[in-house]
Amino acid sequence: MIHTEQLKSGVSRLLLGFVLVTLGFAAGRRTAPPPSQGAAAVAVHEREAADKVIVYAAHMTFRCPECTRIEWLARELLEKEFGAEQAAGRLEFRTIDYMRDLAFARKYNVSSSTLVVVRLVGGEEREFQRLDEVWTKIRDREEYFDYVRGAIRQSLEGMGKERAR
């Protein structure tokens, strides 16, 4: 009799966990921004580009609330602090589903939602930074902004130094 009750309790917890995970994925899909460009479109665009920094918000096909927050906070930071760079074409923000774009995932070794900051000079990639610590900083907006802002500024400054050579 005791084993039956334990079994029922275990099954109930398993089902509840399944329902909660399903609801989380559904919420992430509903709040996710529009789909991203594929690797082919990005490659063509980069060949046409001159000197710029691209901030990629790499995400999974199904997003949890934290995955979506990584992207939204990055968008907010770029709008608030890097509007001039974006207007001048020196900085771009893109989203990309790394589960659907395996070339991107392999190139930048992406296996979870993150930001990737890529510096292009003459349309060719010179360096990139994968900002994996966004996960540990996501709960503190200012700490997150400081971390991402620093990576973007470093790439923009590197672009300026390379142009001066």
| Domain boundary assignment for the chain | 39-164
pLDDT of residue 11: 62
pTM (two decimals): 0.69
C-alpha R_g of the chain: 20
| DSSP-assigned letters across all residues of 96-151 | EETTT-HHHHHHHT--SSEEEEEEEETTEEEEEEEETTHHHHTT-HHHHHHHHHHH
More confident: 138 or 7: 138
> What is the spatial distance between Cα 82 and Cα 157, in angstroms, rounded to a whole number?
13
Query: pLDDT tens digit string along 17-73?
Result: 555 555 555 555 444 444 445 554 455 444 444 799 999 999 999 888 998 999 999
CA dihedral 110, 114, 119, 125 (to 10 degrees): 20
> What is the spatial distance between Cα 116 and Cα 59, in angstroms, rounded to a whole number?
11
**Residue 147 CB: number of other CB atoms within 10 A?**
18
Residue type present at position 31:
T
What is the average pLDDT across 5-15?
Answer: 67
pLDDT of residue 158: 83
Burial environment of residue 148 by CB neighbours within 10 A (0 to 12, 13 to 18, 19 or more): buried
pLDDT of residue 27: 54
Query: pLDDT tens digit string along 77-112?
Result: 999 999 999 999 999 999 999 999 999 999 999 999
More confident: 27 or 154: 154
Beta-sheet strand order (sheet of 91-97): 91-97, 52-59, 114-121, 124-131
16 pLDDT tier (thresholds 50, 70, 90)? low
CATH topology of domain 39-164: Glutaredoxin (3.40.30)
What is the average pLDDT across 141-146?
Answer: 96
Beta-carbon-side half-sphere exposure of residue 143 (alpha carbons within 13 Å): 8
